[in-house]
Amino acid sequence: MQDEKDLTPAQRELEAALASLAPARPAIDRDRLLYQAGLLAGRSAYRRWAAAATAAAVVLAAILAVVAAFPRGAAERIVYVRRPAARPDQPLHLEPWTLGTATGQAPRAEYLHLRSEVLAKGLGALPPAASGSGDGETDEEYRQLLARPAAVSPGQLMRLWNFFRTGDES
């Protein structure tokens, strides 16, 4: 502050006028403003929780509707089929077992023999698998496809990166 001895009479008069003034009341009440801000923040949080609860209730209602629409389990029922009783004087006739092929052919004797060998000796009794799938593919081609890649130099890696990024082979 300036020293009071150096003031002119006009400055002293201005000082006295300013000292007699009281500050005007602000148009906005600070406490009310803070209260309103907190209230709005609480409302938005409440709306988010209310929306989440409503969504959960809708999902629950949909699940309950789906569960109620379908029966709880397949209804079991026992069906009795009447067959003529086998007579002791006739031999029992069994249908030949089939593999379920389209032609309905009976299994070959080789299969039964191979099965017996595998059961007796283990998997070593199986013949070696045929190589390739019939499309000209060999085991060597599969080995090459599944082999670990060779080491790639940083320059090759950058060219590959640029190719994938831009499509330019240079």
Q: How many residues does the chain have?
A: 170
The b-or-e profile of 5-30 (16+ CB within 10 A means b, else e) is eeeeeeeeeeeeeeeeeeeeeeeeee
pLDDT of residue 61 exceeding 90:
yes
Q: Structural domain tally of the chain?
A: 1
The answer to whether 163 and 169 are in contact (CB under 8 A) is yes
**Is residue 168 one of the residues assigned to a domain?**
yes
Write down the pLDDT at residue 105.
Answer: 47
- What is the distance between the alpha carbons of residues 36 and 28, in angstroms, rounded to a whole number? 12
pLDDT of residue 141 exceeding 80:
no
**Is residue 38 one of the residues assigned to a domain?**
no
**Is residue 155 one of the residues assigned to a domain?**
yes
**Is residue 169 one of the residues assigned to a domain?**
yes
Put residue 136 in one of left, alpha, beta given phi > 0 → left and psi -120 to 50 → alpha: left
**Is residue 12 one of the residues assigned to a domain?**
no
Write down the pLDDT at residue 135.
Answer: 56
**Is residue 18 one of the residues assigned to a domain?**
no
**Is residue 43 one of the residues assigned to a domain?**
no
Average of pLDDT values for 92-104?
51
Looking up tokens 């502050």 gives 1
pLDDT of residue 79 exceeding 50:
yes
Task: pLDDT band for 6, please (50, 70, 90 cuts).
Answer: confident
Instruction: Please spell the DSSP secondary structure of 38-100, one letter per residue.
Output: HHHHHHHHHHHHHHHHHHHHHHHHHHHHHHHHS-SSPPP-------PPPPTTSPP--PPP---
- State percent of the chain over pLDDT 70: 66
Whole-structure pTM over 0.75, yes or no? no
Average of pLDDT values for 115-142?
71
**Is residue 41 one of the residues assigned to a domain?**
no
Of residues 96 and 15, more confidence is placed in: 15
Task: Write out the residue range of the structural domain in which residue 146 sits.
Answer: 140-170
pLDDT tens-digit profile of 51-60? 999 999 999 9
- What is the distance between the alpha carbons of residues 34 and 17, in angstroms, rounded to a whole number? 35
